[in-house]
C-alpha cells in the first residue's frame, strides 16, 4: 500500500530506529560480520536523519508543498518497504522466551556480503535522492522569500519618496501655462528658425 509523504516519513523514522537497534544487538553478539553490520547500520541511520529533515520541513508553513512531491513520495515509500524487509530479516524468529535463554549468539547474521553491498547502495541512493529533492525545494523557498522581501522593500522605499505635485508623467497640471520661462532658449529658437528658412542648410538640424 502506497502511503502519503507524511505517513511515510513517520514510518521510515520509526522502522529505521528499530533496524538500527537490531544492528547494534547483532554487532554486540555476532562477531563474524562486524564490518557489514556497521555499514548497514550507518546507512540506515543516515536515511533516518535525512527523513527527519523532511519531517521538520513538513511542519513548516513554507514547506514548498513537499507533501505533493511525487519524487519524494516514491523514494520514501520505497525506503519504507526496504526497511520493513530489513526488520523482518533481522528479527529473530525464535520466541522471545527462548531468545532470553540462548541470546543472539545462537543466531547467524542473515545477510551475505553481496546482499549487504546491495542494501547499502540502495539505502544510500534513497537518502541522496531525498536530500536532492529537499535542496531543490529549499532553494525554491529561499527564492520565494527573497522575492517577497524585495517586493516589500521596493514598496516601502517608493512609499517614502517625496512627490512633486504636478510633476508626474503626462500630468496636465501645467497644461495652460507656458512650457518654458520667458526669454529662455531664445538663441536656440533663433537658430532653428534661420535653419528652417535657409534653402542651402543641411537636411537635418544638429
Grid cell listed for 72: 519524494
Distance of CA 147 to the CA centre of its chain: 16
Residue 95: its pLDDT value, please? 47
Largest CA distance in the chain: 121
Please state, as a whole number, how many other Cβ atoms lie within 10 Å of the Cβ of residue 79. 28
Grid cell listed for 40: 548497514
Residue 146: its pLDDT value, please? 47
Whole-model pTM: value is: 0.63
Pairwise CA distance, residues 149 & 198, whole Å: 60
Angle of helix 70-90 versus helix 5-29 axis, rounded to 10: 30
Q: Are 201 and 195 in contact (CB under 8 A)?
A: yes
Per-domain residue ranges of the chain:
5-152
Closest residue by Cα to residue 23 from 118, 89, 115: 89
Quick: pLDDT tens for 143-185: 444 455 556 656 665 566 666 565 555 555 556 666 656 666 6
Grid cell listed for 63: 514547506
Pairwise CA distance, residues 40 & 201, whole Å: 92
Amino acid at each position: 500500500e502506497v502511503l502519503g509523504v507524511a505517513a511515510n516519513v513517520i514510518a521510515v523514522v520509526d522502522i529505521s530506529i528499530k533496524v538500527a537497534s537490531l544492528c547494534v544487538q547483532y554487532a554486540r553478539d555476532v562477531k563474524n560480520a562486524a564490518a557489514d553490520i556497521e555499514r548497514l547500520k550507518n546507512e540506515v541511520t543516515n536515511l533516518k536523519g535525512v527523513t527527519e529533515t523532511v519531517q521538520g520541513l513538513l511542519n513548516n508553513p513554507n514547506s514548498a508543498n513537499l507533501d505533493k512531491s511525487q519524487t519524494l513520495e516514491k523514494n520514501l515509500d520505497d525506503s519504507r518497504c526496504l526497511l520493513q524487509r530489513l526488520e523482518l530479516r533481522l528479527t529473530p524468529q525464535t520466541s522471545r522466551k527462548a531468545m532470553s535463554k540462548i541470546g543472539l549468539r545462537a543466531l547467524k547474521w542473515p545477510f551475505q556480503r553481496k546482499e549487504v553491498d546491495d542494501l547499502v547502495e540502495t539505502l544510500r541512493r534513497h537518502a541522496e535522492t531525498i536530500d536532492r529533492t529537499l535542496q531543490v525545494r529549499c532553494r525554491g523557498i529561499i527564492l520565494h522569500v527573497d522575492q517577497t522581501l524585495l517586493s516589500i522593500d521596493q514598496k516601502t522605499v517608493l512609499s517614502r519618496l517625496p512627490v512633486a505635485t504636478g510633476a508626474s508623467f503626462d500630468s496636465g497640471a501645467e497644461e495652460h501655462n507656458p512650457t518654458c520661462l520667458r526669454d529662455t532658449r531664445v538663441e536656440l529658437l533663433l537658430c532653428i528658425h534661420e535653419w528652417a528658412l535657409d534653402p542651402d542648410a543641411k537636411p537635418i538640424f544638429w
